[in-house]
Structure 1
Amino acid sequence: MTQHNTDVVVIGGGYAGVMAANRLAPHANVTLVNPRPAFVERIRLHQLVAGNDDAVADYAAVLAGSVRLVVDGAERIDAATRTVTLSSGDRLRYDYLIYAVGSTGTVPAAVPGAAEFSYPIGELEQAQRLATRLADVPVSAPLVVVGGGLTGIEAATEFAEAGRPVTLVTDVLGPSLADSGRRSIAKRLRKLAVTVIEGSAVAEVRADGVVLGDGREVAAAVTVWTAGFGVPGLAAASGLSTDRLGRLLTDETLTSISDPRILGAGDAVSPSDAPWRMSCQAALPLGAQAANTVLARLAGEDPAAVNHAMAGQCISLGRKAGTFQFANVDDTPRRWYIGGRTGALVKEQVCRYTLKWMRGEADKPGSYTWKKNPRRGQVAVAMPVR
C-alpha cells in the first residue's frame, strides 16, 4: 500500500516519534518536527553529565531517509484546520498527526530554592547545563542527588564512580523495584560510598546544600534534582483533552479523544487514562502502534487496541555494575534480578538495541515486534474519522 497523497506530521523526534515515522515512511509523506537536530539518547543523559558519553546520535543513523526532518518547535496544534504552527512561524498541514513530544525534567515550584539552585537532568539541555557546572566544581566537593528512582540511582552511582562524594536523598530507594533488586542496588551504593538518606523530603534547596523536612542540613556544592517528570504543555494549550499531568488522553487505539486525526505515543500519552511507565521500553512499541492505527485507517480497517508487555527495569550503576529487575507483563516487579557486571552488560546491550531497533524499522518498516500483555485486552472503541 502506498499513499503518497497522505501527509503525516510527527511532533517529537524521540524513541516513539522516530519509530512511528519509520513505520509510516513507505505509506505517506512523513514530516518529523523536533527542536534539536540530533537524536537524544535520554537513557544516557547521566553518562553525558559524567563525561563518558555524548548521549546523542545522528538522525541519519536512526531515521528513514524519506522522512522529512524539520528542526523547529511546535507551538500550537489546530485540529479544526489540521495544521501545526511552528516556533518559526511556519505552518504544516496534516491528514494525521502523531503527538510524541516526550517528557521533561521538572523542579517543584513549591520547594523554596529548588528552581533557583537545583539541576534537573531529564533533558539534553539540562544535562549539558549540569555537566558545565560540574566541570567548575572540584571532584572532592559534595553532591546531593534528590530522588531515589531509577534516574536518581543512575546519576548518583555515575557520579560516585567518578570519585565524587554523593548523598542520595529520597523517601524510598527504588520504589518500583522488588526487595531483591533494591538490596542489590543498595549494596552497590554502599560500595561506592554513597550516603543514602531514606524517609526524608527536601524542604529547601540552598546554594550550598539542602534542608530536609526534619530540619537537618546536608552540604552540597551542587544539588541534582531527579524526583519527578512532567510533559510539555502543547496538548493542553491546543485545547486537546489531557490527564492531570498534561498527557494526551486517547482511547485504546491511541487516538485522541478530542480528534480522530490525532494519535499519541510515548511518555506524553495516556491511553484510557492508564498510561504506561515513562520509558523507552514503552515508547518504542507505542510509536509503532500509533503508526499501525494510521495504517489501518488508510486501509479502511478497524485499528487494533494498543497492547504490549513490559519486561523489566534496567539500571546502570556506574560503568562497572548494573541491575536488571525482571517484571511481570503489567510492569510489576518480580523477585528475580541480574546484578553486578552482568547487569551492566545487559543495560549496555539494551541501550544499544534501542538504536538498532529504530534503524531496523527504518530499513524494513513493519519489522519491529513486541511481546503482548494478555491482561490488557480491552476492546477498542475507535472514533469515526471525519
Structure 2
Amino acid sequence: MSEETHDAATADVLILGASFAGIELVHQLRRSARGRGLKIVVVDRQAEHPYIPLVQERLVGRIDPGTSVLPTRRSVEKRPEARYVIGDVIGLDPDRKEVTLASGERLRGRFIVVALGSVLAPPAAIEGAERFVGYKFEGEFASAAEQLAALLGPDGETTRRVSSGDGPYREGEARGLAGERPTIVVAGGGISGVELAGDLGRLARVRPAGWRAPRVVLVHSGPRLLPHLCQRAGHKAEQHLRAQGVELRLNTRLTRLAAGTATLRPPGADATDVPCDMAFWTGGVRPAPALAGLSLPRTADGWLAVGPTLQCFATPKPTRPDIFAIGDAARVQSATGEWPTMQRAIECLWQAWLTTDNLTRLAREAPGYPHGVPPLRPHTLREDFPHGVSIGDASLVVYGRLVVDFAAVNIWFRRFLMKMYIRRYR
C-alpha cells in the first residue's frame, strides 16, 4: 500500500469518537461482508476507554482498573485497513466531508459518522463548579483516583496501590484514623449518583488497607431518587443508601462549592454550609464541546439533530446523505417531535448496528449517487430496557414497574457483561 492510499484523506469511513457507539460501528463494519472492504479511520482524544457503567467501582478500588479498560486503539488497528488517530476534532466541512483536528491535520472520508458523545458537567450557575472532580473518562479518572486515595489513605504508597488496583481489602475495618472523617459530597440522585454514593458508603465496611471511611452526603434537587425509574426503585435505593450510612439531602440544591464547604439550599429555607473535602457532579450530561464547532444541524440544547435514519441532514430529498451521528451526541427528530433517548450503552449499540446497515447500502452505490440515493432503514424507538443499579452492597434490576432486589446475581452479572464487552472488541 502506498503512502497516499494509506492517508486518512482516502478513508471510506471516518468515525469521530471511539467510545461505545464508535467502537461498535467498527466492529459491525468488520462483521459485514461489504463493510470489511472499507478503509476506516477513527479519531478520538484517547487511546483507551474505561468501562463507564462500572467506573465507580474502579474509583474505589473494588475492581482492578487494568481489567476494566478497553485498549481501543489496539483493537481498531489490529487490521491493516483501519487507522486510529489521536486528536481533538475542532471543525467539519460537510460539503467537502473534511474534518479538522486541533493539530491542524485534515481528514476526509466518503462517509462521516459523528460519535463524540457527551460530557458529565455541572451547570455554570453553581458557584465554584470547577471544584467538582471529574471521574468518568480516562484522563479524569486517574486524577480522581489519586485525589480520593490521598484524601482517605495515610500516605503516598496507598495512593500508588489504589491507582494501580492492587491494594488489598480488609473486611470490617472500622477503626479509621485520628481526626474527623473526610466528607465527600455527591450531587445528583440519578443512577450515576446513587451508584457512586453507594460505593463510597460501602467503604465504611470494606475498603483498601489503610483507608479511612468517608462521610458521604448525596444531594438531589428532586423529592426522590432515580426520578427516571419507577417510584419503588427510588424508594429501594433510598433504603439501601441510608442502611450503608449515606446521608440524603432530597429537595435540595447545591449552589456553591468553596474550599472545605458546600452550600446547600432546600426550597423555601436558608442556605446552609456542610463540610466538603471532595465533590462529584453526577446530575446530568451536556453536549461535548466539540459539537459546537461542527457545521451540522443541532437542537436548541446543542445536541446533533438527526432524522430517523440517523443522518445529519434529514431532508426529504437527501443533499448530504453520507454524514451520520450516533450515540449520546445525537437526538432523533421526526414529524412527531424529538424522540426520547436512554443515553445508555445498549442504545449506542443499536444505533451502530443500524448505521452499519445503512452505510453499507450507500456504499454499494457510486459516489454522487447518479441513480438516486437508495432508501434507508429507520431507527427503532425503544423507550425502555432493563436497568441494573448497583448500590454498594445492594443491587437492583429495574424494568418498568418491576424491581428485583437480588444483589449477588446482579453484581456478578454486571461484571460478566463488562468482561464480555472488553472481550468482544479484543
Q: Find the partner of 1:121 among 135, 139, 145.
A: 135
Structure 1 counterpart of 2:39, one-letter code: N
Partner SS for 1:137: helix
**Structure 1 position 15 matched with structure 2 position 20:** yes
> 2:230 & 2:419 partners in 1: Cα distance?
25
The 5 Å alignment of 1:260-339 reads 260-272=321-333, 273-300=338-365, 301-307=374-380, 309=382, 310-318=384-392, 320-326=393-399, 333-339=400-406
Amino acid across the alignment from 1:46: Q
**Alpha-carbon distance in 2 for matches of 1:249, 1:275:** 13
Alpha-carbon distance between aligned partners in 1 of 2:185 and 2:350, rounded to the nearest angstrom: 35
1:137 partnered with 2:151: yes
Residue of structure 2 in register with 1:50 after alignment: 60
SS across alignment from 1:325: strand
Alignment of 1:34-113 (within 5 A): 34-51=44-61, 52-54=63-65, 55-59=68-72, 62-63=75-76, 65-66=78-79, 67-113=82-128
Contact 2:49–2:138 (CA under 8 A) maintained in structure 1: no
- Give TM-score, length-normalised by structure 2: 0.76
Q: Letter of the 2:410 partner, please give it.
A: G
**Contact residue 44 and residue 87 of structure 2 kept, 8 A:** yes
Post-superposition CA distance 1:58-83 (Å, at most 9, x none): 22775473232112222211112111
Match of 2:200 in 1: 159
Q: Is the 8 A contact 1:204 1:212 kept in 2?
A: yes
Residue of structure 2 equivalent to 1:197: 249
Change (3 A) 1:308 1:40: farther
Looking at structure 2, the residues matched to 235 and 228 of structure 1 have their Cα atoms a distance apart, in angstroms, of: 17
SS at match of 2:43: strand
Deviations 1:37-66 (A, max 9, x none): 113322232123212332422227754732
Return the letter of the residue paired with 2:57: Q
> What corresponds to 1:340 in structure 2?
407
In the alignment, the residues of structure 2 paired with residue 62 and residue 244 of structure 1 have an alpha-carbon distance, to the nearest angstrom, of 36
Deviations 1:81-115 (A, max 9, x none): 11111222211111000100111110221111122
Relative to 1, partners in 2 of residues 1:125 and 1:6: Cα closer, same or farther, differing over 3 Å? Answer: closer
Question: 2 CA distance for matches of 1:293 and 1:200?
Answer: 46
Find runs of 4+ consecutive structure 1 residues off by over 6 angstroms.
Answer: none
Identity of aligned residues (%): 21
Give how far 1:6 is off.
6.3
Maintained 8 Å contact 2:69/2:422:
no
Count residues in correspondence.
Answer: 348
1:240 is aligned to 2:296: yes
Long gaps (5+) in structure 1: 327-332, 360-386
Contact 2:327 2:347 in 1 (8 A): yes
Contact 1:48 1:128 in 2 (8 A): no
Q: Is the 8 A contact 1:317 1:344 kept in 2?
A: no
Q: CA deviation at 1:16?
A: 0.3
Letter in 2 for 1:285: W
CA contact under 8 A between 1:255 and 1:262: conserved in structure 2?
A: yes
TM-aligned CA distance change 1:356 to 1:138, over 3 Å: closer
Distance 1:249 1:270 in 2: 5
Task: State how far apart, in whole Å, the 1-side matches of 2:301 and 2:136 are.
Answer: 16
**Does the residue aligned with 1:289 lie in a helix, a strand or coil?**
helix
Cα deviation 1:221-277 (Å, max 9, x = unaligned): 111111111121333312211113322111100000273221011100111132412
SS of match in other structure, 1:69: strand
Q: Whole-Å Cα distance in 2 between the matches of residues 90 and 34 of structure 1?
A: 13
Which stretch of the first structure deviates more once superposed, 144-153 or 346-355? 346-355
**Contact 2:76–2:83 (8 Å) recurs in 1:** no
Match of 2:178 in 1: none
CA offset digits 1:339-364 (Å, max 9, x no partner)? 322232232233333334555xxxxx
SS of structure 1 residue aligned to 2:146: helix
Q: Where does structure 2 lack aligned partners over 5 or more consecutive residues?
A: 1-5, 31-35, 154-180, 205-213, 315-319, 366-373
Aligned to 1:136, the other structure's residue is in SS state helix
Q: The residue matched to 1:120 in structure 2 has which SS?
A: coil
Q: Structure 2 vs 1, CA of residues 70 and 277 (structure 1 numbering), >3 Å: closer, same or farther?
A: same
Q: Aligned partners of 2:385 and 2:420: how far apart in 1?
A: 15
Give the direction of change, closer, same or farther, for the CA distance of 1:61–1:189 in structure 2 (3 Å limit).
farther
Residue 312 (structure 1) shift: 1.7
1:203–1:59 Cα change, 3 Å: closer
Q: How big is the shift at 1:20?
A: 0.8
Instruction: Determine whether 1:351 maps to 2:418.
Output: yes
When Rg is computed on C-alpha atoms for both structures, the one with the higher figure is 2
Distance 1:61 1:176 in 2: 37
Determine helix, strand or coil for the equivalent of 2:249: strand
CA distance in 2, matches of 1:123, 1:245: 22
Looking at structure 2, the residues matched to 244 and 352 of structure 1 have their Cα atoms a distance apart, in angstroms, of 38
The two structures have a TM-score, normalised by structure 1, of 0.84
Question: 1:180 aligns to what?
Answer: 232
Contact 1:105 1:123 (8 Å CA) reproduced: no
Q: Partner letter of residue 249 of structure 1?
A: A
